[in-house]
Chain A
Amino acid sequence: MYKILEKEVFSPIIKLMVVEAPKVAKSCQAGQFVILRIHEEGERIPLTIADFDRKKGTITIVFQEVGKTTEQLGAMEAGDYIKDFVGPLGLPSHIENFGTVLVVGGGVGIAPVHPIARELKNAGNHVIGVIGSRTKDLMFWEDKMREACSELHVTTDDGSYVRKGFVTDVMKEIIEDTGKDNINLVLAIGPQPMMRACCNLTKEYGLKTIVSLNALMVDGTGMCGCCRVSVGGVTKFVCVDGPEFDGHEVDWLELARRGAYFREEEQRARERAKEEHSCQCECGGGK
């Protein structure tokens, strides 16, 4: 059992939790993920590590409520326990001094981008950060990102905060202003359509772009192959070969289709959980 030490509510659907997991904290690195299961009947879901504290033995996760498990997790509070929490999984981000790196976080993807940006800056890179969200209420960690990056640009899709525009609009401006030859690497993490759009843009400029993929997983250790994705025409497992890949090589359509395969079941589970939640037992909705 893994204790939730802190909970922070960024918005009604985006939440942060600091979880006591010393084994994971001891060895994890930026870019890796954990798999958690909140109760005995629960599913295993992957979440990228948003931060860690080796001394305190804690892992920070930030998640958006998109289904039954994340909704139930969101209903849990500090002091509650998560049944299973395993990691660090996947390969760490490749960190070296590339020169100038454009680091982009969209939506809840701001969280996993953060430790990578920090490491890149520590490695001597000039880190240009771009973070974007749909609307002001969904924005978070602007302060932490400002610290992790050399410079930070903020945008919202609807213009409710700082400026109006997608992250790709901001990226385009930065690439034009800085000059594509002065940017050595792009890193983009966020919802799949956003990462795909980023890759379409950077492809025009011939800028290598690393993305962190969120695929469906079961074990997360290379055993089941549920998370397989074609990268450059070769089948890769996101859990052990990734989660980071060259975004220009990823078969985005295949990834999106595989991710949607269980949508009906996910919807069914979610609705059922809501019906159960409407009971009068003051259970708080969590199991």
Chain B
Amino acid sequence: MNDGPKPRPDNAPKTQPQSKIVPQKNPMPAQDPVVRSKNFNEVALGYSPETAIAEAKRCLQCKKEPCRQGCPVEVDIPAFLKLASQGDFAGAIAKIKEKNALPAVCGRVCPQETQCEKYCTLGKKHEPVGIGRVERFCADWELATGVKIPEVAPPTGFKVAVVGSGPAGLTCAADLAKLGHKVTVFEALHVPGGVLMYGIPEFRLPKAVVQAEVENLKKLGVDIEVNSVVGKFTTVDQLMEEEGYDAVFIGTGAGLPYFMNIPGENLCGVYSANEFLTRTNLMKAYQFPDWDTPIKIGRKVAVLGGGNVAMDAARTALRLGAEESWIVYRRSEKELPARHEEVEHAHEEGVKFAFLTSPTKIFGDDNGVVTAMECLKYELGDPDASGRRSPVPIPGSEYVMEVDTVVVAIGQGPNPLVPRTTKGLEVSKKGNIVANLETGATSKTGVYAGGDVVTGAATVILAMGAGKVGARSIHDYLSKK
């Protein structure tokens, strides 16, 4: 064993008189990078009560409240920070939960730097308030001390089916349940949570935290049926015509893995990021053989792609025992679509980066197992449609990179099971469900959709925002029925 985690710097929170501006966020205590790159425990350890109060006190309580426009689920941020700054954590979490059904999840995985914290007045000259960190503290505090169930409106008699129990579905279900509708969530896998369970690693989002949030939803009266693949055992049409559901929300996410379409991609040792992460997170392959599902990792792993999923896979590979874990990305570091924090964590843990590089071929041995990739070097050309400079291959720059495992993390599309089996549901060329982003309404009356299945792969919080929008529209729709 190496040295234990660094002592939490919580002993000296930055509590100054309220009038004085504290320019920097209270640091988030974290496991030491060397230690944590070998375990699956959570990286960020969370604030102490003292630090949470000190951080909340940094909020200027400004009149304009610009932070609120950055929150897709409309949390009253200044109000909850004020309560937290007074040490009223129960009040703070109640305020958050008026809008956000999954605060312990959001406090961990929201990209606050591009949302609420981006607009923070304090952030104009200094570091913004660590809104996400205080949110996480309040949520964890409640999970530890006992959860208070928000009030639920009297039953309306309406039945709503939610397809998919990821962030969009769970949020939609919670909001509808609070409004008094009878909600049943259908989940294809054996546990609810969707990407929160199969995709995001334990070390960023402990699965016990997700399940605790799901349990809270059940206490609102939400029924969750696992092992239920809509599009297979039943269809959206059957739910409405035969099972008596008055409305349906589709939040089936972006679960279809994209591959590179290069030779050798079906060799053993080439995983989609979905398979790699599902084996590890959902099926707990890191505990094999105590858990039955295995994963093979080898000495050197190459992860293709530069998004958050790629970072998750590369960091997971180290924890599974890879000696070297490489991000292979065809643009430069500047264009990495992953959150800055995730890239930094990956660097700290020893993930290596091959920028301006993309494989053209994967080689295998006599047993069909990966041994190497042929890669091509790129340079940056003019900006493309996404505004990022597009990578241009350098002719003749091919070289061979030896690898034992390749993880393809170049993105996911929408799973076609539900769109294909729902009559009259309009889908885009890419297979996404066409829905009004402001209402979630689809081309089919009574059917709403939101999250990655509509927008393509995005973030947890945007999916939650879409779940919220869907719930509001469904409520309006039912109220007029």
Contact = CB atoms under 8 A, between A and B. Distances in A.
Interface of A: 23-24, 26-27, 37, 41-44, 68-69, 83-89, 218-219, 221-226, 228-230, 235, 240, 251, 253-254, 257-258, 260-262, 265-266, 268-269, 272
B368 interface: yes
Nearest to A32: B232
B256 interface: yes
A261 B289 contact: no
B283 A44 contact: yes
B190 A83 contact: yes
A43 B283 contact: yes
Nearest to A24: B233
Interface stretch (B26-34, B58-66, B261-269, B330-338): B261-269
A88 B233 contact: yes
Interface stretch (B107-115, B122-130, B223-231): B223-231
Given A41-B292, A258-B368, A219 B233 contact: no
A238 B74 CA distance: 42
Interface string B406-439: 0000000001110000000000000000000000
Contacts of A26: 233-234
Contacts of A229: 266
A260 to B, nearest CB: 8
Contacts of A225: 257, 259, 271-272, 274-275
18 contacts: A27-B233, A41-B284, A43-B293, A86-B228, A87-B232, A218-B283, A221-B232, A221-B415, A221-B417, A222-B416, A223-B198, A223-B255, A235-B265, A240-B416, A257-B267, A258-B368, A261-B369, A269-B289
Contact of B266 (A84, A85, A258): A258
Contacts of A258: 266, 268, 368
Nearest to B225: A23
B272 to A, nearest CB: 4
B417 A218 contact: no
A87 B233 contact: yes
Given A37-B190, A257-B267, 17 more contacts: A26-B233, A41-B287, A41-B290, A86-B188, A86-B227, A218-B275, A219-B188, A222-B416, A222-B417, A223-B274, A224-B257, A225-B259, A225-B275, A226-B271, A235-B266, A260-B367, A269-B294
A258 B368 CA distance: 8
A42 B292 contact: yes
A89 B255 CA distance: 16
- The dominant DSSP class at the A interface is mixed
A27 B284 contact: no
A222 B228 contact: no
Given A230-B266, A235-B266, A258-B368, A222 B294 contact: no
Contacts of B227: 84-86
A235 B189 CA distance: 24
A254 B296 contact: no
B259 to A, nearest CB: 7
B291 A41 contact: yes
A225 B290 CA distance: 24
B266 A219 contact: no
Interface string B232-271: 1110000000000000000000011101010001111101
Contact of B292 (A43, A221, A251, A261): A43
Contacts of A85: 227
B278 interface: yes
A121 to B, nearest CB: 26
B279 interface: yes
A180 to B, nearest CB: 33
A122 B279 CA distance: 41
A251 to B, nearest CB: 8
B415 A222 contact: yes
A236 to B, nearest CB: 10
B272 A86 contact: no
Contact of B296 (A42, A262, A269): A262
B292 A68 contact: yes
B257 A89 contact: no
Contact of A222 (B233, B256, B265): B256
B278 A224 contact: yes
B257 A223 contact: yes
A272 B255 contact: no
Contacts of A240: 416-417
Contacts of A226: 271-272, 275
Nearest to A217: B275
A83 B294 CA distance: 19
A78 B456 CA distance: 45
Interface string B179-206: 0000000001110000000100000000
B164 to A, nearest CB: 11
Contacts of B279: 218, 224
Contacts of A87: 229, 232-233
A254 B369 CA distance: 10
B415 A88 contact: no
Contacts of B293: 43-44, 218
A265 B291 CA distance: 12
Interface centre among B229, B274, B290 (most CB of A within 10 A): B229
